[in-house]
Chains A and B, each alone.
Chain A
Amino acid sequence: MITPLCWIKDFVPDLNCEASEFVDAMTMSGTKCEGYKRLDKNLKNIVVARIESIEPHPDADKLIVCQVDIGGETVQIVTGASNVKVGDLVPAVLDGGMVAGGHDGGPLPEEGIKIKAGKLRGVESKGMMCAIEELGSSRDVFPDAPEDGIYIFSKDSDVKPGDDAIAALGLDDTVFDYEITSNRVDCYSIMGVAREAAATFDIKFNYPKVMETGNNEKASDYIDVSIEDKDLCTRYVARVVKNIRIGDSPEWMKKRLRSAGIRPINNLVDITNFVMLEYGQPMHAYDLKTIAGNKIVVKRAKDGDEFTTLDGVVRKLDSEVLTICDGEKAVGIAGVMGGENSMITDDVKDVLFEAATFNGANIRKTSRRVGLRTDASAIFEKGLDENNAYAAMERACSLIEELGIGEVVGGRVDVHDELPKEKHIPFEPERINEYLGTDISKEQMLQYFSRIEVKYDEASGELIIPTFRQDLLGFADSSEEVARFYGYDKIPTTLPKDSAQIGGLPFKMKVEELASDVATSFGFSQGYCYSFESPQVFDKLRLAKDAKERAAITISNPLGVDFSIMRTIPLNGILTSLSVNFNRRNENVRLFELANIYIPKTDLPITDYPDERMQFVLGSYGDMDFYDMKGVVEEFIYKAGLKNRVKYEVSDRPYLHPGRQADICYDGTVIGYMGEVHPLTAKAYDMAKARVYVAVIDMPMIVERASFEPRYKGLAKYPSVSRDLSMVVPKSVMAQDIDDIIVQRGGRILEDYRLFDIYEGEQIEEGFKSMAYTVTFRDSEKTLSDDDIGSVMKKILNGLKSLGIELRS
């Protein structure tokens, strides 16, 4: 929303402050002003000049030498422009003056351009005649300016030589830009913002002068209006204007429109634009002779209807689109755009004016469905005040008469059900003070309300809310009005007087913190990846067509297929990130991520919450192998207080190397998996040359079992005894099988066991491997005797033999 200062001052004549002061005050009272632009920035010493004579330049074909009258004085100006004639009135910047930009309309230099008297090809020039672009404006709002040449004031304008050209063009203005919040529909208008300005500075607000209009005929004799779909159209005000004389608008109106960035077109169009800006109420004008049966019917279109809007585009309609129809056909899409069939042309004689209110949500949907968002629909979709529609119609007709554009027919055709009434809400000053933590007097509060036209009914103790303030509905709203005029900055700052509560992280997040700590301790850095990805990920991960991971939640309106499903497996993120690093030649990269996967609990599409499972994902390439990764995994699991032995089951996940992967198991439950990424998956992620290791731990499994309550066990008092076991082991026997034997049979006195050598090759029979363990025993109660050790070792050896293992001599 933008408002020119001159237009605000039409309503608030006493407003008198610096632009920056205005910006701050408006922002602090709730109309967030995002900035302002002075239209006369870098414009200096520019006057209206009349061209008295034109001579060719003696030494340059493309230049002419003009004598110009700048008000009681004639000076010589040389120009290269070819569009000026003797008698033309033009803006001219004089010696020592300044213009905003070049004539090409390119970006305006911050510091402007200084103009000095000088010689052009040897001929003296006391200044420069200006194109509209040099004045920082454009042909968008000055359609009468030539495409390439000096701006020439129209013959009708009442400027004379020596006048301030900046003022004459209406460039002596400042335009403010606001962010209007969706609750303040009334502020999408110059009048609404002006009303806020008056309240902010506590000065008088003047409504525009609206004359009683109309001849002694009756509008209802010209037009009949009926609303069939009253849920979508709550008011329709129609008036008729006869004998229209299309022409230019007066300069004052053009200036207002231009400063708001609107191109003046003709008096009729300008009035509708003017009123739309001023009142925030879009209006529409139909050529009355095109309205069949002198009848307007507001009703839903039928599915499959087609309609040509006045921009010449054929639009497909359906039964949720509201149309304005005449006796035979649609003449407009309600609140969006009129039809080609009823548009105003230059030979228009009589006009039907429409000011209506429509269901905002429906307009929003229509505009989206029809694929057309107009200035009008952007306002209508906010849901407008029915009373404002009537007021805007009156203002428009008043302007018609004031400007002498036509003859307004008396009376209105005004169709509506019950109109909104002023709401009454209780005035609760004490509660407001308690709510805000303030101590504002009741009188002061009422003074604030009076500024925004909220009246107080002493008898009932109620505030009476004008209908344009659709957002003021109850206690909290009334307290906000008090707060913003009292000043948010003046409200004290205190801390809640609550019972001292102890805060903290939930257990789940503590376990996640531990995971991060362990990961970073081992050199893994934390990555953040997207929760949604492409279904093609499943192919990159080589998942079977019927793999359960493919049953992912789908986003119905994704940004694209790459962001279309919620991940069910966390590897894509880490592999993509590793790939980015690998292809940027970063060496030895270790990354981890802690984020959710989303597992539907029911068949798709889901109708209830999915299972959001936090996954701890580790990924690495470079100086890490399977066993390094395993060390990190186990360190985390044990640090989380899981005391039992982590075990591994050979797994067959398609995205992992078939010989280098395992499920990570705890107490018989799979709590994660790890392995080397399958070369084909690595290749799919552009890492064909890397050996990539990943581990995934399902955090809920850990959180369920985790504990941060260590218990101290006495330090060993008695010595430990170690024995080495050197074995020849069939290749099919896995280390974990040997571990199991040692653990089971070592019993209570087993303190530790460690594989310290493994060897395959020469000296070892084909199909076998050599493995050597150190097994350590200790009894917390006594020194172990050779017999104690001997009997345990015997049990272990027997167990090992049962696996086909032989002790090496």
Chain B
Amino acid sequence: MITDNLEEIRQRALKSIAEAKGLDSLNDVRVAFTGKKGELTEVLKGMKDVAKEERPKVGALVNETRDAIERAINEAREKLEEQALVARLAKEKIDVTLPAKKQEIGHRHPNAIALRELEDIFIGMGYEVVEGPEVEKDYYNFEALNIPADHPAKDEQDTFYINGEMLLRTQTSGTQIHEMEKGKLPIKMISPGRVFRADEVDATHSPSFHQIEGLVIDKEVSFADLKGTLETFAKKLFGDDTKVKFRPHHFPFTEPSAEMDVSCFKCKGAGCRFCKGEGWIEILGCGMVHPHVLEMCNIDPLKYKGFAFGIGLERIALLKYEIDDMRLLYENDIRFLRQF
């Protein structure tokens, strides 16, 4: 009887499935029973010998048998797959404490990092960044900044000269003049750049270093605005709890002039080796643009006022990153650069 035969096939198939040792032998079972030439397919071929009225019943029984076998195969496959995965994962265990394969991206120079930070602060306050020439004319480096030919300040700055007219700029302040001469007001700019002074190389001096010049020219600008701007800058750079102190000073191209100290960001003003026990660190010079400087740039000092400031980049970088020797900045030893 075909129905007995089906039951026997089912029993045998289930047994084979249960006995299958792996996915391959399970597949063999599938081929043997439900494959194109499998036993069940053969049974179906025998349907022609079944009585017509019996056929639907037998057909249903054949389908039921095949479903049962396929279900059993699927279940067995899932189980076997899971076992196989567990086995693979176990086999693939690695020593996660073996050393890393070095993936190194390069490092920015501490000067560049500090500069980026400063630029971002001022850009955030609406300042445009401009550049000026490093080989400069005497006029822009001195004369237009209220430092005439025989002014003692000219000696103080130990200028490198190319010849009488051309020199290596000793300060970025000349960019103030270049900007003002463009005749486009108001002005709100910072100008970072390389400057040069005839200082022998040692731990605290370099014949080449960097400044960031700042200039704001507008109709209503006051010394109070200068204070507010630089205080904001200091808090952004060194932290919100930073205090600032403005001390009177003298620069030929600003009047009144000031130097700004910040409360030592290492010791918070208590006194430490960074601030030489004073609790304060001098970080910049600033002042109201001298009316005479405005006049020389064809700006009417009765209509326009302005303030300017100059920050020593290396000073900030050395302090911030606790670098104790300026020479390191120009040696480019990779062991130094990697720390930034």
Contacts and interface: CB of A to CB of B under 8 A. Distances in A.
Interface in B110-150: 111-112, 119, 122-131, 133-135, 137, 149-150
A503 B123 contact: yes
Interface string B219-260: 011111101110110000000000001111110100111100
Nearest to B229: A495
B24 interface: no
| Centre residue among B105, B198, B200, B290 by max chain A CB count within 10 A | B105
A531 B196 contact: yes
A492 B166 CA distance: 41
A506 B168 contact: no
Nearest to A475: B291
Contacts of B135: 553, 566, 598, 606, 609-610, 612
A580 interface: yes
Contact of B249 (A181, A360, A494, A529): A181
Interface string B275-310: 000000000000010111000000000000100000
Contacts of B220: 434, 496-498
A580 B218 contact: no
A559 B224 contact: no
B112 A494 contact: no
Given A29-B248, A519-B106, A612-B135, A476 B333 contact: no
A242 interface: no
B160 interface: yes
Interface stretch (B29-37, B61-69, B324-332): B324-332
A464 to B, nearest CB: 20
Interface stretch (A42-50, A435-443, A697-705, A736-744): A435-443
A547 interface: no
A791 interface: no
A466 interface: no
B332 A520 contact: no
A3 B194 CA distance: 38
B225 A476 contact: no
A629 to B, nearest CB: 14
Nearest to B314: A528
Contacts of A504: 123, 128-129
B153 A182 contact: yes
A178 interface: no
A556 B334 contact: no
B290 A476 contact: yes
Main SS of chain B's interface residues? Answer: mixed
A527 B223 contact: no
A28 B248 contact: yes
Interface in A557-604: 557-559, 563, 566, 577, 580-581, 584, 586, 589-592, 595-596, 598
Contact of A483 (B134, B200, B248): B248
Contacts of A595: 194
Contacts of A476: 255-256, 288, 290-291
Interface in A338-375: 360-361, 364
A580 B329 CA distance: 13
A523 interface: yes
A557 B152 contact: no
Interface residues of A, number: 90
Contacts of A181: 249-250
Contacts of B250: 181-184
Contact of A524 (B106, B224, B245): B106
A489 interface: yes
B207 A559 contact: yes
B128 A503 contact: yes
B49 interface: no
B247 A480 contact: no
Contacts of A479: 255-256, 288
B332 A491 contact: no
Nearest to B162: A553
A145 B77 CA distance: 109
B228 A488 contact: no
B129 A612 contact: no
B330 to A, nearest CB: 6
Contacts of A124: none
A504 to B, nearest CB: 6
Contacts of A586: 333-335
Contacts of B137: 609
Nearest to A520: B106
A763 interface: no
Nearest to B124: A503
Given A495-B232, A563-B207, A591-B334, A488 B246 contact: yes
A729 B112 CA distance: 48
Contacts of A17: none
A16 interface: no
Nearest to A495: B228
| Centre residue among B128, B149, B221, B334 by max chain A CB count within 10 A | B334
B315 interface: no
A607 B246 contact: no
Contacts of B258: 488
A596 B134 contact: yes
Contacts of B111: 528
A491 B247 CA distance: 12
Contacts of A329: none
Nearest to A590: B106
B223 A437 contact: yes
A506 B130 contact: yes
B40 to A, nearest CB: 41
Nearest to B186: A498
B247 A32 contact: yes
A802 interface: no
Contact of B224 (A475, A494, A516, A590): A494
A529 B332 contact: yes
B236 to A, nearest CB: 13
26 contacts: A28-B248, A182-B153, A182-B156, A184-B250, A381-B152, A434-B220, A437-B224, A437-B225, A476-B290, A477-B255, A483-B248, A492-B228, A493-B224, A495-B225, A498-B216, A503-B126, A503-B128, A520-B106, A528-B330, A531-B134, A553-B135, A555-B160, A556-B162, A566-B135, A592-B106, A606-B163
Closest CB pairs A-B (n = 3):
A437-B224, A361-B150, A437-B222
Given A434-B222, A526-B108, 11 more contacts: A360-B152, A435-B305, A437-B227, A488-B246, A496-B225, A501-B128, A501-B188, A503-B122, A528-B332, A555-B168, A557-B160
Interface of B: 104-109, 111-112, 119, 122-131, 133-135, 137, 149-153, 155-156, 160-163, 165-166, 168, 186, 188, 194, 196, 198, 200-201, 207-208, 216, 218, 220-225, 227-229, 231-232, 245-250, 252, 255-258, 288, 290-292, 305, 329-335, 337-338
